[in-house]
Amino acid sequence: MKKLIYIVSLLLITNSVVKAQLLGAGATFPYPLYSKMFSEYGKITSLKVNYQSIGSGGGIQQLTAKTVDFGASDAVLNGKQDSALSGPVVHIPITAGAVVICYNLPEIKEPIKLTGELTADIFLGKITKWNDARIAAVNKGVKLPSTDILVVHRSDGSGTSNIFTTYLSKVSSEWNGKVGKGSAVNWPAGLGGKGNEGVSGTIKQTPGSIGYIELAYAIQNHISFATLENKSGKFIVPSIESTTAAANIDIPEDGKVSLTNTDAKNGYPISGFTWILVYKEQNYGNRSASTSADMMKMIWWMTHDGQKYCADLNYSPLPKAAVKVAEKIIKSVNYNGKPIMK
């Protein structure tokens, strides 16, 4: 009998310290960072987070269906997505990152230079050889191969695609007119890969290929990436510093802002924030007040103490202005009409 009482008591104690698991889904862009943050936060609080890196579009769909506690996206919700929601959703900026133009040319040791117009024409399928005269003109002294260019793009709904196509729409009137911007577009050329993982894997395996992925994936997979001309006419290496420069702008109160084609002299032109998305009113379905409080405390930590993990994983920590905006947005989230974080 004493042994039974001891076992029951032990189970009660164990259950009292293990918190409910949170479910999240969405962007592959910040996945390396989110994995680190969720792991470190779990060590502090015992809170477990199951995050599915399925792309921004998938995360938005699951949040809309209320099958996850939070979504994650590199693109703000559009009008159609907003109208499908059962209530207002807030966008909380977590970090900024760079979308880099990667390529597989083993014989080229120095980073290739590209302009916005060249990049657009490559992805439009107008430039098909690596030794094209226009590429050679901005890469003087580089012996470019005659290899065919194989474009690789995302096959899934993607915030990374939204950042990239928003940039192309700003720098190329032809791209803007024929293709436009969005998380999913009708690609004029190339083949698709699922997630940043799929695109980086295809590029790494295919000589002559070119595609766009998040900087962290490029560095982790040892894939070469281009320096890119910005609006000021400077060729910028994608880095934490150049992404931070791009993000050092006025941030609107709702946190929704594009960093592409920045005016910043030293800013990398294909930069973007990534956001966690949650319903502003958390009392829905069978959600408990404690689960909502656990989630919002975690997101607060991610925008504050958790920022120390950004740089080592090649993400840009939030500028002070973005942190202040994030604080206000987090404090606007309610449970039964009352603020969760005060």
Give residue-wise pLDDT tens across range 45-99: 999 999 999 999 999 999 999 999 999 999 999 889 999 999 999 999 999 999 9
The number of CA neighbours under 13 Å toward the Cβ of 231 is 15
The C-alpha angle with vertex 99 and arms to 96 and 104, in degrees rounded to 5, equals 150
d(CA 89, CA 87): 7
Do 188 and 110 lie in a common domain?
yes
pLDDT at 10: 41
Query: Is 92 a member of any domain?
Result: yes
For the cut 70, the answer to whether the pLDDT of residue 11 exceeds it is no
| Percent of the chain clearing pLDDT 90 (strictly above) | 86
pLDDT at 135 over 70: yes
Question: pLDDT confidence of 5, banded at 50, 70, 90?
Answer: very low
Going across the sheet that includes 113-114, the strands are 113-114, 227-229, 235-236
DSSP codes of every residue in 23-49: EEEE-STTHHHHHHHHHHHHHHH---E
Residue 3 falls inside a structural domain? no
- Confidence check: pLDDT of 1 > 60: no
Return the structure tokens found at 133. Answer: 């005269």
Q: Which of 224, 240, 271 is the last residue of a domain?
A: 271
CATH code for the domain in which residue 307 is found: 3.40.190.10
Q: What is the pLDDT of residues 257-279, one digit of tens each?
A: 999 999 889 999 999 999 999 99
Domain region containing 42? 20-96+273-339
Is position 7 within any domain? Answer: no
Q: Kindly report, residue by residue over 136-160, the tens digit of the pLDDT.
A: 999 999 999 999 999 999 999 888 9
* 3-state secondary structure (DSSP) of residue 194: coil
Tell me, yes or no, whether 178 and 324 share the same domain: no
**Cross-strand bridge partners of residue 92:** 276
Tokens standing for residue 76:
């703000």
Per-residue tokens: 60: 């938005």
Q: 172 and 223 share a domain?
A: yes
| One domain for residues 253 and 310 | no
- Average pLDDT across the chain, whole number: 92
Residue 212 domain-assigned? yes
Q: Is residue 15 part of a domain?
A: no
Residue 62, in any domain of the structure: yes
Percentage of the chain with pLDDT > 70? 94
Task: Give the pLDDT of residue 342.
Answer: 86
pLDDT at position 7: 41
**Is residue 238 domain-shared with residue 124, that is, in the same domain?**
yes
With cut-offs at 50, 70 and 90, classify the pLDDT of residue 111. very high
Domain limit, last residue, from 271, 301, 322 = 271
Number of domains into which the chain is organized: 2
**HSE (CB half, 13 Å, CA atoms) of 84?**
12
Condensed to tens digits (0 to 9), the pLDDT of residues 276-309 reads 999 999 999 989 999 999 999 999 999 999 999 9
Among the residues of 248-312, which ranges form H helices? 289-303
Task: Kindly state whether residue 154 falls inside one of the protein's structural domains.
Answer: yes
Which positions ≥6 away from 102 have C-beta within 8 Å?
200, 203, 210, 211, 212, 213, 218, 223, 224, 225, 226
Same-domain pairing of 153 and 102: yes
Looking at 220, 244, 271, the residue that finishes a domain is 271
pLDDT of 161 above 60: yes
Do residue 117 and residue 161 come from a single domain? yes
Q: Are 95 and 162 in contact (CB under 8 A)?
A: no
In a domain, 167, yes or no: yes
Give the confidence band of 8 by pLDDT, cuts at 50, 70, 90. very low
